[in-house]
Amino acid sequence: MTVRKIGETAVASPLKRVALALMAVLFFVSVTAFAIPPVMYDVTIYDGESVIVVTTAETDASKILEDAGITVSEAYGDSVSFKNFTGEEGSKIFIKRGVRVNINNFDGTTHTIYTSGTVSDALTAAGIDLPKGTALNYAADQILEDGMTIEIYDIYKVVITADGKTITKSVSGKTVADALNMAGVKLSDEDFSKPDVTAALKNGMKIEVFRVTVEERTENEVIGYETEYSYNDSLYREDRKVLIEGVNGSKAIVYEDRYINGELSSSKVVSEDVTAEPVTKLVEVGTKVRKNAYPSSIPVGKPISEMAMPSYLTIGNDGIPTTYSSVINAKATAYCIPGGITSTGKRAQTGYIAVDPREIPYGTEMYIVSADGQYVYGYCIAADTGGFIHSVDWTVDLFMNSEAQCVNWGRRDIIIYIL
């Protein structure tokens, strides 16, 4: 290089000046090239149900996920697809998140895995090949959900009788309910089956369905009226006057009838509603005794009691009741209190007798005959108490219509048939 010195200044030769200028141009171009900013573009990340758009200049898909704070765990069944990633605008990254799936095999073994995809994918991931003659509780292409339990069922041949038809069907499942569901047999809340719907399936099992219907019906029933008596000492004992006629009432009773396969199985009362109250019959009864109205003798072989016998009581040819609960051998005296009232508040009459209520409770129904079979006092009810109870056991006092009859009766051995 030739350098010329002018005064204190050194001046390069013309050739050197050209070289320096060329170097300056090259330096400028190189600096300008390194200053161009990188190209930015959008990447769409499909993370399960979430969609994330990332703006980046990065061309490494794994680095893009890392920068976005997105982790993928193969241990939990996550998988990622980069086939739609080009490193340019419009790139896509797909992430399938694994879910927890339980698999119960028909042989009793269980598996818990983390995977994604379909039921079929889960079986593959668990290394399970479906044996011939088994079935699943989900379709093979069913998308997996977190916490899903996949059941692998054996196949059973069962006989189902329902709605008047009997079918033989191959079904899968664990219980009778599964078999009925596969056969399209629906049970209402009241319906039931034998064996029960919770029973485990067995090959050759016979299942019978019972249809239950519940119906309500209403019936009107009569409420019988009661009879009350009042006593009038101005009327003779044989006289009676009806002051108020008795009227039966009525009530509507609602029954719930339960039918099984069309046949009535049971009924129960669910409600009662009185539609008409009964009217009590009021009868006025005389207590006045006519002079010599009653004979002094006691009828032989005929009932002394004037009380009507109940319909359930029948007397056999031997003169005793055909049915009774117990028998008492006792002593009997007689008493007469015309127009009197018993200790239970009833008007004294033949048929109401005095007892020791500690031995024979009030209201006890009896049939009495003399021990020798000559006299029959007949049907009677314990309704009074005599003073004799303090000294004599098992003695009763029989009401008679006259003092003469009481004298003629005296004291006799009797047989009491407790009804």
Give DSSP secondary structure letters for 294-351.
S-SSPPSSSB---SPPPTT--B-TTSSBS--SEEEEEEEEEE--TT-B-TTSPBP-TT
Single pTM value for the model: 0.43
Maximal C-alpha separation, the chain:
191
Among 156, 191, 210, where does a domain finish?
A: 210
Cα 317 from Cα 81, distance rounded (Å) = 108
What total number of domains does the chain contain? 4
Pair type for strands 148-162 and 206-210? parallel
Among 262, 286, 310, where does a domain finish?
A: 286
Residues in the chain: 419
Mean pLDDT, residues 29-43: 69
Residue 393 in this model has a pLDDT that exceeds 70: no
**And the tokens for 290?**
């006519």
Examine residue 258 and state whether it is found in any structural domain, yes or no: yes
**354: containing domain:** 294-418
pLDDT band at 15 (very low <50, low <70, confident <90, very high): low
Q: What confidence tens digit (pLDDT) does each residue in 193-216 have?
A: 999 999 988 989 999 999 999 999
Q: Both 87 and 188 in a single domain?
A: no
pLDDT of residue 49: 82
pLDDT of residue 315: 92
> What kind and span of H or E run contains 399?
strand 395-399
CATH of the domain at 259: 2.20.230.10
State which amino acid sits at residue 281: K
pLDDT band at 97 (very low <50, low <70, confident <90, very high): confident
Cross-strand bridge partners of residue 382: 353
DSSP 8-state secondary structure symbol assigned to residue 22: H
pLDDT of residue 116: 86
Examine residue 5 and state whether it is found in any structural domain, yes or no: no
Q: What confidence tens digit (pLDDT) does each residue in 60-82 have?
A: 999 999 999 999 888 888 889 99
Rg, Å, the chain Cα set: 55
Residue 17 in this model has a pLDDT that exceeds 60: no
Q: Which residue has the tokens 């004294």?
A: 348
pLDDT band at 96 (very low <50, low <70, confident <90, very high): confident
Cα 409 from Cα 411, distance rounded (Å) = 6
pLDDT of residue 105: 82
Q: What confidence tens digit (pLDDT) does each residue in 267-314 have?
A: 999 999 999 999 999 988 887 766 655 666 788 888 999 888 888 999
- Higher pLDDT: 387 or 364? It is 364
Q: Both 301 and 279 in a single domain?
A: no
**And the tokens for 245?**
């006629």
